Amino acid sequence: MAGQQRHVHGVARFRHGASQPVESLRRSREVVEEDHSGALTGLVAGAGPVHQTIDHVEERIRLVRLLPYARAMATFPFLSDDWIRATRALREEYKSQVNPPATGALRVNLVVVAVPFGSGEVLAHLDTTGGEPEIELGHLDGPDATIRADYATTKRVFVDGDLGAAMEGLQLGRITVDGDMMKLMGLAGLNADPGSLALAKAIRAITA
């Protein structure tokens, strides 16, 4: 009987000990610290240069884990979930090197059709409010414009930076625009500084 009690108490202690890190995470702020090369240097509770609540920790860890794959030239289909996560990681890595666009913030919704995966259509957006151009899934409220284009053309314009593809798409009807065309001219000024050029190159390298 005494042996059974010790066993039960041991299990209880194990379970209690196993739950403590989870409870600690729920009570603490988490820090994911990356060094200048972008490598993970620590996951620490309580202090550091980058603070995130528990709701963001799991996503933050995924971003950091994706960095080695990005550097190893792993590629992901444009606008896929993996591509979105990988580009977030790269934007975080290059954030201090990128200057805000000289043309001011640009917020554009994208309706991308003829997508070679999923339902065949992706709703996304481009937002330069934070400085570097961010392409994320979903639509923004009150965008400057909404662009509808096929997948291949969208990739050429927003990943390859091929403004000729944009002009060609408009002429051939592969691109339609609803909104401020003059504001869209600011797309020509994106990726002009050295940091933005380096980020754009890194994103092209991980895009299938």
Buried b (16+ CB within 10 A) or exposed e, 168-188: ebbeeebbebeeeeebbebbe
Same domain flag for 135 and 174: yes
66-97, pLDDT tens digit by residue?
A: 555 545 568 999 999 999 999 999 999 998 88
Q: Is residue 114 part of a domain?
A: yes
Q: Are residues 67 and 107 in the same domain?
A: no
Report the Cα 141 to chain-centroid distance in Å. 19
Name the nearest CA neighbour of 31 among 1, 2, 64: 64
> Quick check: is 88 in a domain?
no
**pLDDT tens sequence across 30-56:** 333 333 333 333 333 333 444 455 656
**Hey, which residues does 107 pair with through a beta bridge?**
127
Residue 191 lies in a domain: yes
Name the more confident of 96 and 156. Answer: 156
Q: Is residue 28 part of a domain?
A: yes
- Domain total in the chain: 2
Q: Report if residue 78 sits inside a domain.
A: no
For residue 41, the model assigns a pLDDT of: 34
Half-sphere exposure of 163 (CA within 13 A, CB side): 8
Confirm whether 83 is domain-assigned. no
Whether residue 142 is found in the same domain as residue 192: yes
Is residue 143 domain-resident?
A: yes
Whose CA is closest to 89, among 160, 26, 28, 37?
Answer: 37
**What is the per-residue pLDDT across 106-130, written as a single tens digit (0 to 9) for each?**
899 999 999 999 999 999 999 988 7
* 158: pLDDT strictly greater than 50: yes
How far, in Å, CA of 121 to CA of 178, rounded?
Answer: 18
What is the pLDDT, as a whole number, of residue 190? 65
Which of 62-71, 104-113, 145-154 comes out lowest in average pLDDT? Answer: 62-71
- Reported as a pLDDT band with limits 50, 70 and 90, residue 57 is low
Q: What is the pLDDT of residue 96?
A: 87
Q: Do 162 and 66 fall within a single domain?
A: no
Which 3 state secondary structure label does DSSP give 82? helix
Structural domain containing residue 67: 2-72
Length of the chain: 208
Dump pLDDT digits (tens) for 168-185: 999 999 999 999 888 887
Q: How confident is the model at residue 62 (pLDDT cuts 50, 70, 90)?
A: low
User: What is the Cα–Cα distance from 146 to 104, expressed in whole angstroms?
Assistant: 17
Q: Cα–Cα distance between 70 and 163 in angstroms, integer? A: 25
Confidence at 191, pLDDT banded by 50, 70, 90: low
CA atoms of 182 and 103, how far apart (whole Å): 11
Query: In terms of domains, do 177 and 128 share one?
Result: yes
- Cβ(182)–Cβ(84) below 8 Å: no
- Whether residue 79 is contained in a domain is answered as no
Q: Single out the residue in 72, 101, 119 at which a domain terminates.
A: 72
